[in-house]
Amino acid sequence: MNSRRVVVTGMGVVSPVGNDCGTFFDNLLAGRSGIRRLSASFVDRLTANVGGEVDYDPATRFGKAKLGLLDRFSQFALEASAQAIQDSGLEFDEPLKARTGVFVGTGLGGACTIESGYEEIFLQNKNRVAPYIVPRAMNNAAAGHISIDYGLRGPNVTYSTACSSSAVAIGEACRTIRHGYADAAIAGGAESLLTLGTIRAWEALRTLAVTDTDDPAASCRPFSKDRTGLVLAEGAGMVVLESLEHALHRGAGIHAELIGYGAGSDAAHLTRPGLEGQVEVMRQALADAGISADEVDYVNAHGTATLAGDVIETAAIKRVFGAATGIPVSSTKSMHGHLMGATGAVEFIASVLAIRRRAVPPTANLRVADPECDLDYVPNRGRKDVEVRTVLSNSFAFGGSNAVLIARAFGD
């Protein structure tokens, strides 16, 4: 079977730290956090009252009729996809439409629509609900809208593997192109879970960060001894992938080459991460890329700021890269929060931008050294003018569904 090289030619992002790639990475590099006290009317009912909210007015992009069909996660997916397609310069003629796939990851899909529907039925005692609740809420709605808007008739697939969903979507899109089933793909993920019910459910798990009353923006502190948990966030990240042959034929600009993908399961526990599974999937990705660990210049960690998760990921990285490794490792979740099903794509984009900008974003809010987290986490300040040729991005999930992506500067 064919095994073609796959490149990234377009990127788009909607996030708490910026709604375009330039602003997004500038803020990450500067250590600026998008985490804040939630603006929702129900915020006083929450213990965990901070989150990574997106500043986005859908009315500036979508008409009233279209908006009626779109849950907030689909709005984000369409916006990020439009950015990525424009960035790529792709023009979809009929042959390309038939050879372009759509691959989207999401954890809960139309959570905002589902919750509003429940509220109408159970709290407001309405006998009828909006007629479009099902197509708004279904997990594959975002992928369907992208496909319809651009007339893309290739594979249209939605992945739901919790926090690794969008990394899996990008990795599977890469495989589809590698093996000749498509020439291009729109791939990534979207999520919007900042609803009362969802946040209260996460509070019950006791995994959410305690709000930093002195500085709410510093509530997410990956790898810091004083970390207290993750911060929920919303947004989307989408990339355009193409076969190298297709990209070169049309003279496309190339951001990076996607050289490695690994996917596997901890097969251990539904919510607690597993060391061996993380080690295995990183090694899978390195083997897929055909490189050794010492060729990686930067690791974008999953780094959720949970007590157990950060320790286990640290141990896994040391197992793969060597206990004395000096490789820079950072968690951008410290600034944009945990976008659940979208987080893998957003962090992959940050990783590619690290290559493009020759800079490594920091782990913000790293205030207290933790003896069990003893890698170079790029504390608090980003690094500019550094050699970043190859990056590895980790995405580990509830259910033990793990995925790792590796990108390399094109031409290496």
CA 178 to CA 39: how far, in whole Å? 44
Angle made by CA atoms 259, 299, 31, in degrees to the nearest 5: 125
Looking at 145, 302, 336, 373, which residue is catalytic? 302
Closest CA to 50 of 205, 183, 198, 213: 213
Tokens in use for 297? 């210049």
CA dihedral 40, 306, 399, 286 (to 10 degrees): 120
Under CATH, which number does the domain 6-249 receive?
3.40.47.10
Q: What is the identity of the amino acid at 347?
A: E
Looking at 163, 174, 220, 373, which residue is catalytic? 163
Tokens in use for 255? 């951001």
User: Is residue 153 within 8 Å of 97, Cβ to Cβ?
Assistant: yes
Burial 195-223 (b: 16+ CB within 10 A, else e): bbebbeebeeeebbbebbeeebbbbbbbb
Instruction: Return the number of other C-beta atoms located less than 10 Å from residue 175's C-beta.
Output: 15
Residue 123 confidence (pLDDT): 82
Bridge partner residues of 12 (DSSP): 238
Sign of CA dihedral 41, 137, 148, 63: negative
User: Is residue 277 within 8 Å of 264, Cβ to Cβ?
Assistant: yes
3-class SS at 216? Answer: helix
User: Is residue 193 within 8 Å of 162, Cβ to Cβ?
Assistant: no
Tens-of-pLDDT digits for all 412 residues of the chain? 458 999 999 999 999 999 999 999 999 999 999 999 999 999 999 999 999 999 999 999 999 999 999 999 999 999 999 999 999 999 999 999 999 999 999 999 999 999 999 888 888 888 888 889 999 999 999 999 999 999 999 999 999 999 999 999 999 999 999 999 999 999 999 999 999 999 999 999 999 999 999 999 999 999 999 999 999 999 999 999 999 999 999 999 999 999 999 999 999 999 999 999 999 999 999 999 999 999 999 999 999 999 999 999 999 999 999 976 789 999 999 999 999 999 999 999 999 999 999 999 999 999 999 999 999 999 999 999 999 999 999 999 999 999 999 999 998 7
Angle made by CA atoms 346, 215, 378, in degrees to the nearest 5: 50
Model pTM score: 0.97
Closest CA to 197 of 116, 304, 105: 116
CA 304 to CA 227: how far, in whole Å? 10
Q: Which CA distances in Å does 106 have to 46, 225, 344?
A: 24, 31, 10
User: Is residue 323 within 8 Å of 381, Cβ to Cβ?
Assistant: no
Question: How big is the chain by its Cα radius of gyration, in Å?
Answer: 20
3-class SS at 388? Answer: coil
Instruction: Return the number of other C-beta atoms located less than 10 Å from residue 336's C-beta.
Output: 33
Tokens in use for 204? 């019950």
Tokens in use for 272? 């607690």
Residue 124 confidence (pLDDT): 86
269 catalytic, yes or no?
Answer: no
Instruction: Return the number of other C-beta atoms located less than 10 Å from residue 332's C-beta.
Output: 30
145 catalytic, yes or no?
Answer: no
CA 238 to CA 77: how far, in whole Å? 7
Tokens in use for 153? 């008739």
CA 316 to CA 277: how far, in whole Å? 9
For β-strands 390-395 and 401-408, DSSP reports them as antiparallel
For β-strands 184-191 and 100-105, DSSP reports them as parallel
Query: Within 138-271, where are the H helices?
Result: 141-150, 165-178, 196-205, 244-249
* Residue spans in the chain of domains classed CATH 3.40.47.10: 6-249, 260-408
Closest CA to 261 of 296, 291, 287, 285: 285
Looking at 112, 220, 338, 373, which residue is catalytic? 338
Instruction: For the domain made up of 260-408, give the CATH fold.
Output: Peroxisomal Thiolase; Chain A, domain 1 (3.40.47)
CA 168 to CA 187: how far, in whole Å? 10
302 catalytic, yes or no?
Answer: yes
